[in-house]
Structure 1
Amino acid sequence: MIKVGIIGTSSLTSGEIIKILLKHPRAKLAYLESENFAGKKVWEVHKFLKGVLDLNLKNFSEEEITENCSVTFISKQHNYASGISRNLIAKGVRVIDLSADFRLKDAEVYRKWYGIEHKDHALLKKAVYGLSELYSEKIKKALLVANPGCYPTSIILGCAPLFANSLVDPKETIVSSYSGVSGAGRIAKPGINLFMDSFRNLFPYNVATHRHTPEIEQELSIIGNTQVNLTFVPHVAPLDKGILSTMYLKPVKETSEDDLIKLYKKVYDQCPFIRVYENGNFPSTLNVVDTNFCDIGIKYDPKNSRIIVVSAIDNLIKGAAGQAVQNMNLMMGFDETEGLPSGKKV
């Protein structure tokens, strides 16, 4: 049984991590940090835990974490994890960071898109990008894992087989994604996640300027061994949870739907949380909410020479908490499905 800490316990994502870990057969919560709610019981912040978990929320204590935890999740604002992770790792604690601090390999790109200087350039280079379907062997050996963003998870998994096999033009990718309002977090953001903003409403935001863009381009460029550029347009949908991404890609040669689906099934055959749909079928958010699945459907449009890929995930589970626990499992030598909602048989 490993002991686990969470730094930034009040977030929606941390609430989901707690739900998962309470059912995990090999992990026990040992330390919960919250700078805003220190001194309160965790169930006073996450009401669903009343009568279930009675731990106190505490101020940050490096000493207490290193004495009591084998691994810790950091679910804080950007530029926080980069300031504390080095010392935790040096004292034997493995770190899974859910912010953007260690996702981008270039500190200058991080500064450009997030508007802040990175605090630890050297550690940035040692972090492993935590998309387990692609980097499981590296994650198993990692001391620091950068948990991917929610949109990048749905988009990279949806596109990876095409770029890995050089089947599409790296300069001709357009992505349109739709997210539930929980993607904006617990803090009220007028115009984005208030009820009056989202009820009976669907709208784009950060058109072609969303901060997940360089993360997606970075990983697809690595996968395809060439520079990938894409146009990314995210939207807020009148849903509480879920992401649906539709990707439009230009094939470099003629192909067929059957061949594409066979390729995807082969690539993801041993991935317990990837489900590839049959011809003519496409995913929906309803079928992935509260699961760690990423569902993928593929369409080939020969008339316009386009490959269309549709993916769906739960933004708080596969796009955050579930993926983080999947990474923890790999880091600690467990089966990657431990404690998570059932995956497919592989």
Structure 2
Amino acid sequence: MTRVAVLGASGYTGGEVLRLLLAHPAVEVVQATSGQFAGKRLDYPHPSLRGMSALRFVPHEALEPCDVLMSCLPQGGLIERWARVRELASRVIDLSADFRLDPTDHERWYKKHPRPTDVPEFTYALPEWTASQLPGARYVAVPGCMAHASLLGILPLVCAGLVKPELVVDAKTGSSGGGATPALSSHHPERASALRCYRPVGHRHTGELENIVERLTGTRPSVHFSATAVPSVRGILSTVHCFAARPIVDENEPLRAIATAYREKPFVRLIRPNTSASPFPEPGPLQGTNYCDLAVDVDPDRNRIVVNVAIDNLVKGAAGTAVHALNLMLGRPETEGLGFRGLHPI
């Protein structure tokens, strides 16, 4: 059994990490830390964990050595504790943005939380594209949730040379993406029926998309990214508008490129035309799952390719990918502990 501790486990992402790890056949959760709930049982903030564990939260400072540390701290939290954390675990998986980007891009987008100069390189955990880098990796960074969904739609087309390096991305997200700490904009009366574009420009996922596409394909795109809040709790729907690199003659070429990219990938499901009563991806049936549903449409008159990608922001967009990466790091079956297939209707 691999001994895993979860740092900052009382938030929404931490709760999903615990839910998946406590049911994982090859993992023992040995500690879960919380600054707010130290001394309380795991099911105090996470009622879905009732009966799953007798563990109680401990303060962050009480963290002990373990095989793998998963950090669910907010942005800057792991950077602040890095000097101590690196001595406690031989492997670290970070679910924040502390170590996702190359140092130059990190400095541009995260000036409030500069990276320590002595931090080793983190492997970017996008398993459908970086699986070969994860076995044996010691330090792993989980993608941002909206960036993750968008990358799954972008990368097959860029790699196939089908699109220009200029992308328009509109990502819609539920309220849980804002975390468990309440704010005025996330207060239920303010947020329950909200449909608002809260970051038309300047969102930090812009930098992540540009950095990671360049890292994985050699081409740095210009990304125009907007984030929109929708009246749901979970889920992301990312609509990616690409412009074809040449006139579209074969409308099925983008579909074939995406189908080829994900043919052997167990968590990506391509929705093809006329094969479903719901022909476009939607987050609802994906709640609680590590699956991604994806569809591509082509507008040959305007030389435009549109990819819609749906995921659960807390699972595929965070905790599920962390566990997927852990499986690959340990040489375990990549689907282990991630078999839940969702509910319908929801």
Q: Same fold (TM over 0.5)?
A: yes
Q: 1:332 to 1:89 in 2, by over 3 A?
A: farther
Equivalent position of 2:141 in the other structure: 146
Given residue 122 of structure 2, which amino acid in structure 1 is its aligned partner?
A
SS at match of 1:65: coil
Aligned residues: percent identity?
Answer: 33
Given residue 248 of structure 1, which amino acid in structure 2 is its aligned partner?
H
Give how far 1:179 is off. Answer: 0.5
Equivalent position of 1:46 in the other structure: 46
SS at match of 1:221: helix
* RMSD over aligned Cα atoms: 1.8
Give how far 1:195 is off. Answer: 1.6
Give how far 1:258 is off. Answer: 1.7
Give how far 1:215 is off. Answer: 0.5
Worse-superposed segment, 225-234 or 33-42: 33-42
1:165 aligns with 2:164: no
**Preserved CA contact (<8 Å) 1:89 1:143:** no
SS at match of 1:101: coil
SS at match of 2:225: strand
Distance of 2:299 and 2:48 partners within structure 1? 46
Give the alignment of 1:195-214 within 5 angstroms: 195-214=188-207
**Preserved CA contact (<8 Å) 2:125 2:325:** yes
Structure 1 residues 198-255: Cα deviation after superposition (integer angstroms, max 9, x where no partner): 2233100121111111011111122331221111111011011000010111111133
Give how far 1:265 is off. Answer: 1.1
Distance of 2:40 and 2:124 partners within structure 1? 34
Q: TM-score, normalised by structure 2?
A: 0.92
Give how far 1:342 is off. Answer: 4.8
Task: Choose between structure 1 and 2: higher helix proportion.
Answer: 1
Give how far 1:91 is off. Answer: 5.2
Q: 1:19 to 1:163 in 2, by over 3 A?
A: same
Given residue 237 of structure 2, which amino acid in structure 1 is its aligned partner?
L
1:80 is aligned, of 77, 80, 83, to 77
Equivalent position of 2:344 in the other structure: none
Worse-superposed segment, 14-23 or 272-281: 272-281
Structure 1 residues 62-115: Cα deviation after superposition (integer angstroms, max 9, x where no partner): 7x531xx21111011212212434554455521000110100112x43233223
SS at match of 1:182: helix
Equivalent position of 2:125 in the other structure: 130
2:255 is aligned, of 253, 261, 265, to 261
Structure 2: tracts of 5 or more residues without a match: 342-346
Distance of 1:234 and 1:132 partners within structure 2? 24
Equivalent position of 1:65 in the other structure: 64
Distance of 2:151 and 2:298 partners within structure 1? 18
**Preserved CA contact (<8 Å) 1:85 1:95:** no
Distance of 1:317 and 1:119 partners within structure 2? 26
2:304 is aligned, of 303, 306, 319, to 306
Structure 1: tracts of 5 or more residues without a match: none
SS at match of 2:106: helix
Equivalent position of 2:174 in the other structure: 180
Q: TM-score, normalised by structure 1?
A: 0.92
2:108 is aligned, of 109, 112, 121, to 112
SS at match of 2:252: helix
Give how far 1:264 is off. Answer: 0.9
Name the count of aligned residue pairs: 336
**Preserved CA contact (<8 Å) 1:205 1:236:** yes
Give how far 1:43 is off. Answer: 1.9
